[in-house]
Amino acid sequence: MKIADLYIRVSTDEQADRGYSQRDQDERLRKYCEINSLQVRKVVYEDHSAKTFNRPAWTKLLTDLRKHMGHSDLILFTKWDRFSRNAGDAYQMISTLRRLGVEPQAVEQPLDLSIPENKMMLAFYLAAPEVENDRRALNTFHGMRRAKKEGRWMGTAPVRYVNKITETGKKYIAHRDKQGDIMQWAFNELALGKFNTEQIWKMAKGKGLICSKNNFWKAIRNPVYCGKIFIPKYKDEESFMVQGQHEPLISEALFYAVQDVLDGRKKVIRTKIVADDNLPLRGFLICPNCGWMLTGSASKGRTQHYYYYHCSSACGIRYKAPEANAKIVDEIRKYVQPLPRLQLYKEVISSVYKAKTHAQHIEVQQLKIQLEEANKRLSKARELLLCGDIEAADYRTIKAECDERINRLEVKLTASVTDTTNIEPLWDKAISNISQLDVLYENGTVTQKRKIIGSMFPEKLTFDGFQYRTTRVNEALILMLLIGNKIQNKKNGTNPSFLDLSHQVTPEGLEPSTR
């Protein structure tokens, strides 16, 4: 007697609409086994889609068949669409079952798969439900796309809106009062640009907004809040937006202002970082032991507060803030240069700048000459046409060539235009500041001090209690030091334009003295 496993699968829509049920399938399969003298080993109930074989009950059945090969001969189900609705996956699974010594069979659509012609009927039985699923999905997609084009929001309502149904059964989205006020506030704050998105999301949550950070980010990008519905691209139809049937929460101008801020197209002024005057180095120091960032805090004594920079890890590194602040001034003084050296640095930079821009100026002049010649040629051709010396066809040919050349020259000229700003005054102010960096740091506000530190040391500073170390110093300061070191050993009286000439004086000989 052959042994069979019964596979019973249903899905919610088929149970409701077509009358399939687990009890009905169980009755048919057991009756089939009784008539054909088959022993039932186990009954497997499945409530999962047949689009793939990634189903919980089927996976357990397949594992059991692999562990107990030879314990079952057949897997019975009512119809082939109970087995699968994907022809490709079905053929692969049939091959897997045959290797395990198990034959799948539909009791209401029996097929002897040993007969080659029956494989055509199997293809039909498997493809028919797959085609039905695909057609249903396509009809649903087109229906939803048509509804979107009519301005209806499809799916779960976005943040601040709620899904509702009219008495006639028509679905729509409407405002949710309190949530709506919070989202309006969020859009207005984003447009100002004072806080970043995460900060505004946290403040909105504090006001009562129920929304995750990811959903909040999607919401502020969604044009539904300004009354628009986005229609995505499909085949040859480009994406576009339509006016929605729902009531907008904000104006279009406000929505696009927020998008400009998020995309960086609008210059915004962020809130300034407030730092303690006694801890200007907080955020710039790294722990020499563990590499963590040093933070700063104050300890309350009997008569005053004592400030420290300390590590937030368990290594216990702790430095007195006044000592660390004093040593950073000594570090800054290492890069302070006297004005004469800085003047030389200015001359070197100005010379290099002029050399770099000289070739560009020549190219611009040549392009202007070529553009003027092309315009003169076009004017001459126009005069010849008016005088009757050339035909209209020849003039059109000349005009087409000249227009193309003029367009190319204008594009090149636009790309070659350089900034003609005079850098001399800018350098005068820069070298004046560099010559007194230590003074500016000591007399500056905490914000100015942090700007000086950040510009001098792009990477973080490591402080061991005695000195500072860093992996990188501002390249301009390094170059100034190199220039200073090269001219430090030059003797006085050397012509600055000929720094590399020999300092040796020719001895007096037979030639008359030049003095």
pLDDT by residue, tens only, the chain of 515 residues: 899 999 998 876 545 345 457 888 888 899 999 999 999 999 999 888 888 898 999 999 999 999 988 889 999 999 888 888 888 888 899 999 999 999 999 998 888 888 888 888 888 888 887 788 788 888 888 888 898 999 999 888 888 788 998 888 888 888 876 555 888 899 999 988 878 888 899 889 888 888 898 899 999 999 999 999 999 888 888 888 899 999 888 888 889 888 888 887 666 555 445 567 888 888 888 888 888 888 888 888 888 888 999 887 778 888 999 999 999 988 888 888 776 666 667 676 677 667 767 777 788 888 889 889 989 998 998 888 888 888 888 888 888 888 888 877 887 777 666 555 555 666 677 777 777 888 888 888 888 888 888 888 888 888 888 888 887 888 777 776 665 565 555 444 444 443 344 333 444 444 444 44
| Alpha-carbon span 374 to 376, nearest angstrom | 5
3-state DSSP of 372-438: HHHHHHHHHHHHHHHHCCCCHHHHHHHHHHHHHHHHHHHHHHHHHCCCCCCCHHHHHHHHHHHCCHH
Does 3.40.1280.10 match the CATH number of domain 3-135?
A: no
The pTM is what?
A: 0.42
Structure tokens at 476: 């301009």
Judged on CB neighbours under 10 Å (0-12, 13-18, 19+), 327 is middle
| Alpha-carbon span 104 to 122, nearest angstrom | 12
b/e map of 47-74 (b: 16 or more CB within 10 Å)?
A: eeebeebebeebeebbeebeeeeeebbb
β 318-320/305-311 pair status:
antiparallel
Write out the H or E segment, with its range, that includes residue 91: helix 87-99
Nearest to 133 by CA among 169, 81, 96: 81
Q: Give Cα separations from 443 to 278, 378, 431, 473 (angstroms).
A: 13, 66, 18, 22
Does 3.40.640.10 match the CATH number of domain 161-166+180-263?
A: no
| Alpha-carbon span 161 to 248, nearest angstrom | 10
b/e map of 122-159 (b: 16 or more CB within 10 Å)?
A: beebbeebbeebeeeeeeeeeeeeeebeeebbeeebbb
Q: What is the pLDDT of residue 101?
A: 92
β 461-463/468-470 pair status:
antiparallel
Q: What is the pLDDT of residue 501?
A: 40
| Alpha-carbon span 23 to 78, nearest angstrom | 12
Q: What is the pLDDT of residue 275?
A: 66
| Alpha-carbon span 262 to 193, nearest angstrom | 9
Residues paired with 106 in a beta bridge: 77
Note whether 108 and 79 are within 8 A (CB).
Answer: yes
Note whether 326 and 309 are within 8 A (CB).
Answer: no
Note whether 94 and 80 are within 8 A (CB).
Answer: no
| Alpha-carbon span 58 to 66, nearest angstrom | 12
Long-range contacts at 318-322 (CB < 8 A, ≥ 24 apart):
319/294, 319/463, 319/465, 321/278, 321/279, 321/281, 321/296
CA 208, distance to chain mean position in Å, is: 29
Structure tokens at 6: 């019964």
Strands (E), 27-149: 39-46, 74-77, 103-106
Residues 6+ apart with CB under 8 A from 409: 367, 370, 371, 374
Structure tokens at 472: 């990188």
Nearest to 52 by CA among 133, 117, 167: 133
Q: What is the pLDDT of residue 180?
A: 56
**Torsion of Cα atoms, 117 then 122 then 124 then 125, to 10°:** 150
> Which residue carries 């904000």 as its tokens?
250
